[in-house]
A and B are shown apart, each in its own frame.
Chain A
């Protein structure tokens, strides 16, 4: 490894982890499906066809039709849009809050740190799903609100992670040097500390997307997430449960889509973690 740029070491290690690479390919495919949904889905996902209700998979409808005769394959493809956008926006919100609170907490320490940490303890003590449901009780279950609620209830892990990173970085020489040169707090936090703790934050964000996709699908499944007729993997599964005795395809395929998506993000996240962690570089994976 001597003499090679660090970036190459990282890529070599990530690619050598075949599972992580496969996960990455699936993630890219999902992106593609979400972006080009109007072009690749065989039917309009909202087209109701009363003559072909609850039909088993066929050439015309590769994944069957639902109780209104809508094409399930098209709805699953359009569902990717919903799931991925919820995942990304929710994690974006969580990362923003987590990074800010974590950095402030770790950098300033003292009573600010104590208050923020206590707040995190409290947030973690209330079962997350309870908290999400309680908030949703008071607002319209629109896709934007779902993103915000998931973001607002899942930043705690990120904040703790960032705080730990900041604590270990803030006494390093380069930070002390910046301080000695008269750099302000914001400057030091953003340009010297955050930049150097981005790797674990990034890993945790990738894993967070998987978590957000799971939560969104669970909420939509319970009927309090993304509302029909907007197709989401979770709300197709609700139909699957209602027709559990006659239409297996309504339960199997959307669930498979969730499973594959979450699995891929987890694999990519774990792969990144291993590739970014220098301590593991001499160990076989």
Chain B
């Protein structure tokens, strides 16, 4: 098991290197120099100052050397300073240790995605199993239709509709941000409720698309499994249907779902840009969007790299989960 883990980690290295390569060279696709954005706003900048700036970012060296130097720094998680007016270190903007954990950007994005995962799993598995066991029933058809609509629903539009209904029309839920203006004055319970209220709509939207995909996948996986011989055998030896479904079939049908969940990590993280922009959530996605708009290159490169790393981690966890769930794989190692 440990040998397998080490092997998997080693296999991740070239991909990780590739991710840094792409993050780095996308910056060099841009016409002009990355520091142009710093200098063009300041017409009075002297050529010497420009040169100093280029030296600071190693732009006077060959591209390959620049990449090497950059790589050397990011191994220590040093992504340089942001180009925005505050000039803070990039890592500090994503993970500010002076802020409370709940307000750090990376934490906010991770938290929303983890809650989303939990909800998707908790709902899509029962839906998938029940539609499979009742194939072609009215329930199955309603679920299938819902799933198709869920696939096609643009998340930002759905978000607008729910904001309009629950936020503006009913006035039940806040439609923007993570906490109210009077948050600091609230008692502890009020604080918890305030944060929960702000999270309900974003998490629901974020889970909706995944719910559709995963319950559909669970259904077809289950349909495949219940046609297998060992399920027929379980039935033939007189086991109650519940036991056949939940003990014999479900466990096997769950395996492919683990892979699918690992694969859905990049989609969710990428989607956080839209989600956080629509709801005004101060997470990593929103920061990425702002950095792109202001051409804050170090920030963009950093978040691209972190996004790639998170995806790799997701895949790794999926593999571990698969190994824990499937005795055949464990035996082979």
Partners in one complex: yes
Interface residues of A (CB under 8 A from B): 19, 118-119, 121-131, 133-138, 210, 214, 217-218, 221-222, 224, 237, 240-241, 244-245, 248, 251-252, 254-255, 258-260, 262-263, 266-267, 284
In the complex, what residues of A have CB within 8 A of residue B148's CB? 19, 263, 266-267
8 Å CB contact of B273 from A121, A129, A135, A237:
A129
Interface residues of B (CB under 8 A from A): 14-15, 18-19, 21-23, 26, 29-31, 136, 148-149, 151-158, 160-161, 163-164, 168, 175, 266-267, 269-271, 273-274, 277-278, 288-289, 292-293, 295, 300, 303-304, 307-308, 311-312, 315
Q: How far is the CA of A131 from the CA of B311 in the complex (A)?
A: 13
Q: Is the CB of A118 within 8 A of B307?
A: no
Least CB distance, B27 to chain A, in whole angstroms: 8
Q: Is the CB of A130 within 8 A of B270?
A: yes
Q: Is the CB of B154 within 8 A of A129?
A: no
8 Å CB contact of B154 from A131, A241, A258:
A258
8 Å CB contact of B152 from A125, A126, A262:
A262
Instruction: Select from chain B the residue with minimum beta-carbon distance to A260.
Output: B152
- Given known pairs A118-B15, A121-B15, A133-B289, the reply for A126 and B160 (CB within 8 Å) is no
Q: How far is the CA of A251 from the CA of B160 in the complex (A)?
A: 7
Instruction: Select from chain B the residue with minimum beta-carbon distance to A207.
Output: B151
In the complex, the 4 A-B pairs of residues with the closest C-beta atoms, listed nearest first: A129-B270, A127-B270, A122-B18, A255-B157
- Given known pairs A127-B311, A218-B156, the reply for A121 and B18 (CB within 8 Å) is yes
Least CB distance, B95 to chain A, in whole angstroms: 18
A-B contact count (CB 8 A): 140
In the complex, what residues of A have CB within 8 A of residue B293's CB? 137, 224
- Given known pairs A122-B18, A137-B295, A266-B148, the reply for A284 and B136 (CB within 8 Å) is yes
Q: Is the CB of B269 within 8 A of A248?
A: no
Q: Would you mind naming 14 contact pairs between A and B with Cβ atoms under 8 Å apart?
A: A121-B18, A125-B315, A126-B311, A129-B273, A129-B274, A130-B269, A130-B303, A135-B29, A138-B26, A214-B154, A259-B149, A260-B152, A263-B148, A263-B151
Instruction: Select from chain B the residue with minimum beta-carbon distance to A123.
Output: B22
Interface of A is mostly: helix
Q: Is the CB of A255 within 8 A of B312?
A: no
In the complex, what residues of A have CB within 8 A of residue B303's CB? 130
Instruction: Select from chain A the residue with minimum beta-carbon distance to B309.
Output: A125
Q: How far is the CA of A221 from the CA of B277 in the complex (A)?
A: 10
Least CB distance, A227 to chain B, in whole angstroms: 14
Instruction: Select from chain A the residue with minimum beta-carbon distance to B305.
Output: A126
> Which residue among B14, B153, B154, B267 has the maximum number of chain A CB atoms within 10 Å of its CB?
B154
Q: How far is the CA of A241 from the CA of B26 in the complex (A)?
A: 31
Least CB distance, B261 to chain A, in whole angstroms: 15
In the complex, what residues of B have CB within 8 A of residue A129's CB? 270-271, 273-274
Q: How far is the CA of A123 from the CA of B281 in the complex (A)?
A: 27
Least CB distance, B172 to chain A, in whole angstroms: 15
Q: Is the CB of B29 within 8 A of A244?
A: no
Q: Is the CB of B160 within 8 A of A133?
A: no
In the complex, what residues of A have CB within 8 A of residue B315's CB? 125
Least CB distance, A259 to chain B, in whole angstroms: 5
- Given known pairs A134-B300, A259-B152, A267-B148, the reply for A125 and B19 (CB within 8 Å) is yes
Q: Is the CB of A262 within 8 A of B154?
A: yes
Q: Is the CB of B15 within 8 A of A251?
A: no
In the complex, what residues of A have CB within 8 A of residue B274's CB? 129, 218, 221-222
In the complex, what residues of B have CB within 8 A of residue A124's CB? 266, 311
8 Å CB contact of A128 from B136, B153, B164, B270:
B270
Q: How far is the CA of A252 from the CA of B162 in the complex (A)?
A: 11
Q: Is the CB of B154 within 8 A of A218?
A: yes
Q: How far is the CA of A94 from the CA of B97 in the complex (A)?
A: 42
Q: Is the CB of A125 within 8 A of B312?
A: yes
